[in-house]
Amino acid sequence: MRLNHRYKPNHRQGAALVELAVCLPVLMVLILGSIEATSAIFVRQALTTAAYEGAREASRISSTTASATARGQAVLNARNIRNSTIRFTPASIENVSRGQQFTVEVAAPLSGNSPLSGRVIPNQITTVRTVMVKE
């Protein structure tokens, strides 16, 4: 006796396509969100390092605002951080006397410093402050 094996459509292929259509957007959001979050962490860490290095330079007795700003900017340039600002409080480090506190504030937007150009987290400016005492 001979069995007639005819082609039967596999309905499982259609289910796999539906599963892909449902899961792919979720996976893409997770992947792109992870990339954006790690980029934001990198920018924040770079700003923290720049603020610390600028404050360390400014805490020296013979330091100037220009030299402290240049030190912080060198850290930001080494890490490819663009459109950043470095601000000191008080504005002139030369006028800070020994034992007095001063603040260094470094800020940069995420939009120009992310591989996704800040599309996931738009219009976010990260700011870091470091307080130190003049030597």
What ranges do the domains of the chain cover? 14-133
5 has pLDDT over 70: no
117 has pLDDT over 80: no
pTM: 0.81
Q: Tell which residue, 93, 13, 81, has the closest CA to residue 47.
A: 81
21 has pLDDT over 80: yes
Give the single-character DSSP code of 101.
E
- Preceding peptide of 90 cis, ω within 30°: yes
Residue 114 — very low, low, confident or very high, per pLDDT cuts 50/70/90? confident
pLDDT, residue 113, reads 87
Extract the tokens encoding 48.
Answer: 């923290």
Residues 36, 40: Cα–Cα separation, whole Å? 6
- pLDDT, tens only, 53-106: 999 999 998 899 999 999 999 999 999 999 999 999 999 999 999 999 999 999
Cα 30 from chain centroid? Answer: 17
7 has pLDDT over 80: no
pLDDT, residue 103, reads 97
Residues 74, 68: Cα–Cα separation, whole Å? 10
